Structure 1
Amino acid sequence: MGSVVRWAIGAAAILVVASAVYFAYNFGMLRFNNPSQSHYPIQGIDVSHHQGAIDWKTVAAQPNVRFAIMKATEGGDHKDSRFADNWQRAGDAGLVRGAYHFFTFCRPGRDQAQNVLATVPKEPGTLPIAVDLEFVGNCNKVPTLEEMTTEVNAFFDELKGVFPEKPIFYVTQEFFDQYLKGNEARFPEHYLWLRSVFKEPAQQGCSRWSIWQFADNGTLDGIRGAVDLNALCPSETGFAHLFPAVAAK
Structure 2
Amino acid sequence: MREILLSVLFLCAFIDGAWADYDCPNHPISVADAGWCKFFDEFAFRDQEDPARKINYLVKESLAAIDVPDKAIRSYAFVISVWDYRKGQVDEEELKGIKADKPAILKFLSEQGFDEAIVLNNGDATADRIRKIFTEYYLPKFESAAAAGQKIRFMFIFNGHGWQPRSSGGTGALALADITDDSDLDYDHRFSLAELRGLLQDVSQYTQASIALLGSCYSGSVFEDGSGHEEDFAPGAAAWIAAAAPRGVEAWELKDRQGTVFFQNLIRVIETWRSAEAELAPQDPAGKVVDMTKYAPTLRDITSYINNQHFFGGANPETGEHYPPFIVDTIEFSGGKRAAYRFVAGQDLADKIGQNIGLNFTKVAFTGSSIEGRSDITVVHTPGTYSIRGIDLSSGNINDDLDFKSIKQEAGISFVYFKASEGQKPLNAERMQKEDQAYRKVKRAWDKARAAGLAVGAYHTFNFCEDVEDQFDYIKQRVHRTDDLLPMAIDVEWYDGKPAPGTGGCSLTAALAHSKIYTLARDLEGYYGKKPLIYLVSSSVREIAGDSVDYPLWIANFSSKAAAVGPGEPWTLWQYTGKGHIPGTANLVDFNYFFGNATQFSQFQKSGSNIAGEVAGK
- TM-score w.r.t. the length of structure 2 is 0.32
Partner of 1:10: none
The one of 48, 56, 75 aligned to 2:423: 75
Query: 2: distance between equivalents of 1:242 and 1:150?
Result: 25
The alignment status of 1:228 with 2:228, answered yes or no, reads no
| Equivalent residue for 1:191, pick from 552, 564, 568 | 552
User: What count of residue pairs does the alignment treat as equivalent?
Assistant: 220
1:61-140 paired onto structure 2 within 5 Å: 61-62=409-410, 64-77=412-425, 79=435, 80-81=438-439, 82-135=441-494, 136-137=500-501, 138-140=503-505
Structure 1 alignment gaps of length 5 or more: 1-15, 244-249
Three-state SS of the structure 1 residue aligned to 2:405 is helix
The residue that corresponds to 1:51 in the other structure is 397
The offset of 1:238, in angstroms, is 5.1
Among 331, 335, 347, which residue is 1:29 paired with? Answer: 335
| Comparing 45-54 and 205-214, the one that deviates more | 205-214
Q: 1:156 aligns with which of 517, 521, 524?
A: 521
Percent sequence identity over aligned pairs: 24
- In the alignment, is the contact (CA less than 8 A) between 1:32 and 1:198 conserved in 2? no
Larger Rg: 2
| Residue of structure 2 in register with 1:175 after alignment | 540
Which blocks of at least 5 consecutive residues in structure 2 are unaligned? Answer: 1-224, 231-328, 341-380, 427-434, 495-499, 606-618
CA separation in 2, counterparts of 1:56 and 1:237?
A: 23
Answer yes or no: is the 8 Å Cα contact 1:113–1:156 preserved in 2: no
User: The residue matched to 1:162 in structure 2 has which SS?
Assistant: helix
Identify the range of structure 1 (50-59 vs 232-241) with the bigger mean alpha-carbon deviation: 232-241
Letter in 1 for 2:453: G
TM-score, normalised to structure 1, is 0.75
Post-superposition Cα deviations, 1:116-159, rounded to whole Å, max 9, x if no partner, equal: 00001211222100000123342233422442233223323433
Counterpart of 2:209?
A: none
Query: Is 1:210 matched with 2:581?
Result: no
- Asked if the contact 1:214–1:229 (Cα under 8 Å) also holds between the matched residues in 2, the reply is yes
Partners of 1:97 and 1:127 within 8 A in 2: yes
SS at match of 2:457: strand
Over 3 Å counting, the alpha-carbon distance change for 1:30 and 1:109 in structure 2 is farther
**2:170 aligned residue:** none
Any idea what the Cα deviations from partners look like across 1:142-182, whole Å, max 9, x if unmatched?
42244223322332343344312111111012321322233
Note closer, same or farther for the CA distance 1:230–1:61 as it changes in structure 2 (3 Å cut).
same
1:75 positional shift: 0.2
Between 1 and 2, higher relative CO (CA 8 Å, sep ≥ 6) is seen in 1
1:223 counterpart SS class: coil
Farther-moved stretch of structure 1 (56-65 vs 192-201) = 56-65
Q: Using the TM superposition, give the Cα deviation of residue 242 of structure 1 relative to its aligned residue in structure 2, in angstroms.
A: 6.8
How far the C-alpha of 1:38 sits from its partner, in A, is 5.4
1:200 is displaced (CA, Å) by 4.2
